[in-house]
């Protein structure tokens, strides 16, 4: 029968479409359902990819405006065509969504557009506007519906004055003043884009530090760098009320611990205080699928929910809310369904903030090691002493390696550097195979490269770095 499948995947984001393709490779008949008319989910359409396109474009603009004269490149004037910049971003997204469509066809995955509702562990109804509902029969269901922005109770999103990251990627003009509520990954990346393009940017963060899950030393250094780039920070501050008008937004703010309030006016406010699972109208409550107190679907080690035959991955289950984590979840889940061994090591999921410089991390922070009572050794190396960083005038940053004091096994790596998201992967590989700091230190690194700082930081764990 045409509407009978071995697996129905709900969601065509990084976790969903990757899971669908891998399941098809393993011989399963697969359907992939998504409410969007373009594939790739939040990440590709309104998240990871368009934000990186604008981060790259805005960096080019900032360099042309301010940073090239030191190299003897004289530019009399630099103009910003925001409409054209946005069009380039959109073309990149379009090309990639078409690429995923090709991959689904290549692997004989059936793509169904519409809102999915789980009727039973073996039935998924797809509801489409202007079309007859479709009932898909299946042996297994995989929920990969992703997440959505968490609102503030006193500010409603209109995607014009009060925006999510989606709206922040579609602004038609550069705001004079952008307020970012939330000092996490998304808020700092979006703030960086608009600061480079000329906006005054103020970050309001409830806690006493930005990116609280980051290693404290790295976080403080990172904040100093962003401040030098013109981003202002109001830490230990909360937004208590907001009023939107045709001319802008007026925010009441006060100290997180209580105290006198003050007023903060801006053109646009970006609310980036976190994300929550997107499970609206999916029907999981009627089926009795258990969720935790935060609303994430509870799963066992095989990614199966409390209802047999229904599985879940990605942002809608506990763990890092990252596209690459969702991909690993998806592959592992369908391999387990197919009788193979699937596994994800959640201690070794790298995190990257794509500002400039980038910040990348893997494994434990110093604070986590102290809390766990694990004795450790530390080695750091600044990019101010790296020859390649000097040559390209990118000396802000460092590499920090944490290793077990007894075994020398690498427990955590934290990097601030241009292209830190790429550099971190030699450390991800090393840690995956249980490498020691000595192993990294004795690995020959090409000269001159930014990666040499990783080698020097590994040598510094044993107090024998060369170039400082």
Cβ neighbors of 122 (< 8 A, separation 6 or more) are: 137, 138, 139, 309
Report d(CA 160, CA 110) in Å as an integer: 36
Distance between CA 449 and CA 398 in Å, rounded? 14
Helix (H) / strand (E) element for 94: namely helix 82-106
**Strand extents, DSSP E, 376-440:** 376-382, 398-404, 410-417
Cβ atoms of residues 8 and 131 within 8 Å: no
Measured CA to CA, the distance from residue 176 to residue 173 in angstroms comes to 9
d(Cα 291, Cα 285) in Å, to the nearest integer?
9
The catalytic position among 343, 425, 447, 467 is 447
Measured distance CA(370)–CA(243) in Å, rounded: 43
Instruction: Round the CA-based radius of gyration of the chain to a whole number and report it.
Output: 24
Q: Give the residue among 259, 310, 17 at the shortest CA–CA distance from 138.
A: 310
Residue 447: active-site member: yes
Known catalytic residues are 447
């Amino acid at each position: 029968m045409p509407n009978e499948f071995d697996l129905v995947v709900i969601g065509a984001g990084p976790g969903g479409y990757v899971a669908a393709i891998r399941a098809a490779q393993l011989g399963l008949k697969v359907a992939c359902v998504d409410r969007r008319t373009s594939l790739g989910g939040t990440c590709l359409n309104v998240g990871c990819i368009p934000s990186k396109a604008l981060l790259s474009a805005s960096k080019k603009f900032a360099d042309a405006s301010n940073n090239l004269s030191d190299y003897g490149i004289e530019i009399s004037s630099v103009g910003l065509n925001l409409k054209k910049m946005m069009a380039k971003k959109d073309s990149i997204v379009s090309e990639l969504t078409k690429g995923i469509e090709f991959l689904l066809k290549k692997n004989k995955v059936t793509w169904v557009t519409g809102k999915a509702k789980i009727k039973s562990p073996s039935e998924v109804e797809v509801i489409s506007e202007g079309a007859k509902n479709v009932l898909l029969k299946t042996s297994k269901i995989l929920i990969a519906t992703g997440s959505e922005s968490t609102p503030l109770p006193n500010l409603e999103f209109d995607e014009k004055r009060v925006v999510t990251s989606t709206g922040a990627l579609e602004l038609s003009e550069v705001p004079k003043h952008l307020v970012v509520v939330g000092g996490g990954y998304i808020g700092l990346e979006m703030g960086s884009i608009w600061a480079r393009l000329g906006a005054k940017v103020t970050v309001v963060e409830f806690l006493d530090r930005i990116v609280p899950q980051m290693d404290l030393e790295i976080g403080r250094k990172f904040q100093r760098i962003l401040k030098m780039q013109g981003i202002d920070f109001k830490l230990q501050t909360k937004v208590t009320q907001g009023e939107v008008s045709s001319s802008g937004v007026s925010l009441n703010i006060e100290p997180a611990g209580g105290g006198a309030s003050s007023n903060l006016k801006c053109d646009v406010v970006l609310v980036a205080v976190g994300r929550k699972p997107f499970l609206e109208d999916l029907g999981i409550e009627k089926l009795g699928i258990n969720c935790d107190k935060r609303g994430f679907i509870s799963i066992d080690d095989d990614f199966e929910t409390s209802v047999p035959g229904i599985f879940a991955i990605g942002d809608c289950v506990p763990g890092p809310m990252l596209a690459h984590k969702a991909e690993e979840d998806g592959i592992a889940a369908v391999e387990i369904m197919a009788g193979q061994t699937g596994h994800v090591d959640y201690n070794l999921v790298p995190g990257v903030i794509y500002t400039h410089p980038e910040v990348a991390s893997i494994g434990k922070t110093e604070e986590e090691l102290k809390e766990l009572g694990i004795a450790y050794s530390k080695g750091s190396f600044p990019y101010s002493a790296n020859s390649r960083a000097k040559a390209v005038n990118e000396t802000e940053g460092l590499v920090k390696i944490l290793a077990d004091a007894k075994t020398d096994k690498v427990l955590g790596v934290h990097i601030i550097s241009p292209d830190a998201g790429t550099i971190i992967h030699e450390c991800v590989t090393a840690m995956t195979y249980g490498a020691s700091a000595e192993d990294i230190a004795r690995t020959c690194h090409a000269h001159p490269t930014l990666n040499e700082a990783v080698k020097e930081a590994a040598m510094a764990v044993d107090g024998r770095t060369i170039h400082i």
